[in-house]
Structure 1
Amino acid sequence: MLNLTYEFKLKPTSEQVFIFTDWLEQCRRVYNHALTERKDWFKSRSCQINACSLRSEYTIPAETKRPTYASQCKSLTANRKTNSNLQRVQSQVLQQTLLRLEKAFVSMWEQKHGFPRFKKPGTMRSFVFPQLRKNVVQGSTIKLPMVGWVKFRQSREIPDGATLRQVRIVRRARGWFAMLTLQWDVIIPDVMPHGEGIGVDVGISHFAVASNGRFFPNPQPFKKLERKLKLLQRSVSRKVKGSSNRKKTQVKVSKLHERIANVRKNYHWLVAHNLCDLARMIFLEDLNLKRLARGFLGKHCLDAGWGQFFQILEQCCRKRGVFFLYVDSKKTSQICPNCLTETGKKELSERVHSCQYCGYTTDRDVAAAQVVLIRGLAAVGHTVKMLSEGKAVALPLTKESPGF
């Protein structure tokens, strides 16, 4: 099975915008109410036996079971019969909100994420229709339960034979969007190693450097618009809370954040396609992005958006039939790609690789990308001989082949 998500911009009427906004608010209230139940239950069980808290105490009976997704769905069904606000929202949309809270708790337990927090007004930005009938998309319109036909901008054709599984309605600064999850009953074979390969090294001075000497500059979208964003955020803090001027300025801040994200994502796709044009095999170092984000250069690492770039590059390679593989990133800048000798740690200000053993000299980032290429070719069953001109020649892997 192949699942893909197509994004289209909606063109709703004023009545449909009012419905979407009301549904988001009701989903937010359901989310906060369900979170309150779970939080109160946890606090009632964390009280000491021989002492009471000076602030407050929760008198939930000991036989009360822990609130779960199933139990809260039953309570939601009962409350929906008497609550007119909940009756305006499709039932499965509210259930998906409870499922969203359940996933937040699972992430807290299994992935060590923080405790789920309450949603402030305006922070709930999407809701999901998990099931739809057949033929709900006709031309440039889509039929949503309890909403009716909604127009959207059909930026690309929906392929025939695809089954629509779910629709997510998202509110952004530029308007409303529909995320259509489509499913095909096809099997796509994995791309096998073939053709010429390149290694890619990412950094801050240059966004990406290929082993053949191709440099991609770092656009730094956040850094270039940081001053403007700071002034807008300062303007928001000086406005009266709840006033119209504060809301208008908040919209400007949201649009600027979205502009930064769009510039970054567009550049990632541009670099990914350029790398796919250079070779038929791409090898990338497997970095610990969370650790880098916590370092003293964390702000610049987050501005580069390497995590998103890795996902886009992998998706672009699969789409264009290019083999993609992660390799070990340990000491890629401390090994000479010509003689495979460890030359020692370099300072960040040292931008030239000069080997004291074989005399090979090149740019530091190019040398690291060439080491990535060597490891990638070794992983797929080849070795590589680095020439003095900086070019790579792939050789079949034998027992006498050097390795490290």
Structure 2
Amino acid sequence: MIVIEFKAKGKTTQYAAIDEAIRTAQFVRNKIIRFWMDNRGVGQKELYRHNTALRAEFPFVKALNSHACQVAVDRAYMAINRFYTNCKKAIPGKKGYPRFKKNCRSVEYKTSGWKLSEDRRSINFIDKKGIGSLKLKGTWDLHYYQLDQIKRVRLVRRADGYYVQFLVNAENKVDVELTGKNIGLDVGLKEFYIDSNGHTEPNPKFYRTGEKRLKFRQRNVSRKKKGSVNRKKAINRLGRVHLKISRQREEHAKRVARCVIQSNDFVAYEDLRIKNLVKNHCLAKSINDAGWYQFRKWLEHFGVKFGRITIAVNPAYTSQECSSCGTTVKKSLSMRTHACKCGFVLDRDWNAAINILKLALSTTGHVGTWVIDPNASGDSASTLVGAILLGQAGSMNEESPLL
């Protein structure tokens, strides 16, 4: 499953109708959560029946396409099911108790409630919310796909406008020649990553670079009167700056991950728990700015697309062990050079990258014993023997058509 995104162009009244559809989907989801809270133990069928009762009770809910309401129920049920799953697994910390949504930004249709034009450059939403026909601005060509391949259509609101996403059931694999190269990656804050060959990728630090502009926009928001039109405009300008930084970080991770995957047949990296790492308040901003999660996400995506092997390994002691003799050399975070009694001296992160590659290769002995699921679709991660990933990689939402 791939996601194709266009920017939606319409009138102000149409944008207001999209906002109303998003609020309605949020209302349905919150009502379903409340129904579950009041009736513990109800199943998915009971939630669908309650949705039917909501459509009969509230005219504005009935005006939204029935499939869009069903998607809102599905989202609520996913939150409930995730909570129960976390409880059964007894994961440490919070279990993710379902919460009410305050600011939803999307509404999703299934196979009804919308219709593409003949030239496939506009889409018409035919439910009673009054959205109407929206022009699609983008470089994708939907003529490459059959209409029955489009499984869902999503309207998304962002700070810089509204977008239409098409979820298409299509293969996303490219046949490439083998390079015969293996590589291990150690991500960091000073450098974005250093590989087992000693190559370093600089850390762009997009948030740090744009922090001055963010502070300026945040001060403007604070100076405006609450509830005023000028405050809403200031909030939108602030949101645009945040959106630009997030896009820069995402595109950088995408570009670097693609280059790494295309240049190597086997890529090993750290299975980092970002949620735990950001608990260090001294490093939380820098860790979030680095974008390690996005980088790993795109590594797994391009690994499937180009048929490469990717594996996450436990990062424990990879910085402490000597990659030459295996002796443990304890180091603090301030010590950036690895110096072992055996005489081996190397950069701390370079030494860790070598250990990561060795650990990945030693899990099964050699590359030939790794197993890739031949039935895996283009949007799922490879199934790797010995990998300790928490879950498979999902679909990439905004892959550029040039990639």
Q: TM-score range, shorter-chain basis? A: 0.7 to 0.9
SS in 2 for 1:287: coil
Of 230-239 and 128-137, deviating more is 128-137
SS in 2 for 1:331: coil
Letter in 2 for 1:205: K
- Normalised by the size of structure 1, how large is the TM-score? 0.78
Structure 1 residue 215: Cα displacement: 0.6
Structure 1 residue 8: Cα displacement: 1.7
- Normalised by the size of structure 2, how large is the TM-score? 0.78
Structure 1 residue 250: Cα displacement: 0.9
Structure 1 residue 205: Cα displacement: 1.1
Which of 301, 307, 317 in structure 2 is aligned with 1:331? 317
**Counterpart-to-counterpart distance in 2, 1:179 and 1:18:** 18
Which of 154, 161, 181 in structure 1 is aligned with 2:167? 181
- Map 1:48-197 to 2 at 5 A: 69-81=44-56, 83-111=58-86, 112-120=94-102, 123-132=103-112, 136=116, 138=118, 139-146=120-127, 147-158=131-142, 159-160=144-145, 163-184=149-170, 195-197=180-182
Distance 1:37 1:133, change over 3 A: closer
Query: 1:283, 1:326 within 8 Å by CA — same for their partners in 2?
Result: yes
Partner of 1:255: 240
Query: 1:195, 1:280 within 8 Å by CA — same for their partners in 2?
Result: yes
Identity of aligned residues (%): 31
Distance 1:365 1:187, change over 3 A: closer
Size of the alignment, in residue pairs?
A: 353
Query: 2:172, 2:305 within 8 Å by CA — same for their partners in 1?
Result: no
Of 144-153 and 247-256, deviating more is 144-153
Query: 1:229, 1:253 within 8 Å by CA — same for their partners in 2?
Result: yes
Structure 1 residue 148: Cα displacement: 4.4
Distance 1:174 1:90, change over 3 A: same
**Which sections of structure 2, spanning at least 5 residues, go unmatched?**
87-93, 368-403
Distance 1:246 1:311, change over 3 A: same
Query: 1:193, 1:380 within 8 Å by CA — same for their partners in 2?
Result: no
- CA-to-aligned-CA distance 1:147-182 (integer Å, 9 cap, x gap): 444221232233345711111111001111122111
- Map 1:369-388 to 2 at 5 A: 369-379=353-363, 381-382=365-366
Partner of 1:32: 30
Distance 1:356 1:191, change over 3 A: farther
SS in 1 for 2:320: coil
**Counterpart-to-counterpart distance in 2, 1:141 and 1:332:** 53
**Which sections of structure 1, spanning at least 5 residues, go unmatched?**
43-64, 384-404
Of 133-142 and 274-283, deviating more is 133-142
- CA-to-aligned-CA distance 1:102-152 (integer Å, 9 cap, x gap): 2222223323544333333xx121011022489736432234332444221
Partner of 2:348: 364
- Structure index of larger Rg: 1
Structure 1 residue 199: Cα displacement: 0.8
- CA-to-aligned-CA distance 1:26-67 (integer Å, 9 cap, x gap): 22333333444444x27xxxxxxxxxxxxxxxxxxxxxx766
Structure 1 residue 248: Cα displacement: 0.6
SS in 2 for 1:284: strand
RMSD over aligned CA atoms reads 2.9
Query: 2:173, 2:306 within 8 Å by CA — same for their partners in 1?
Result: no
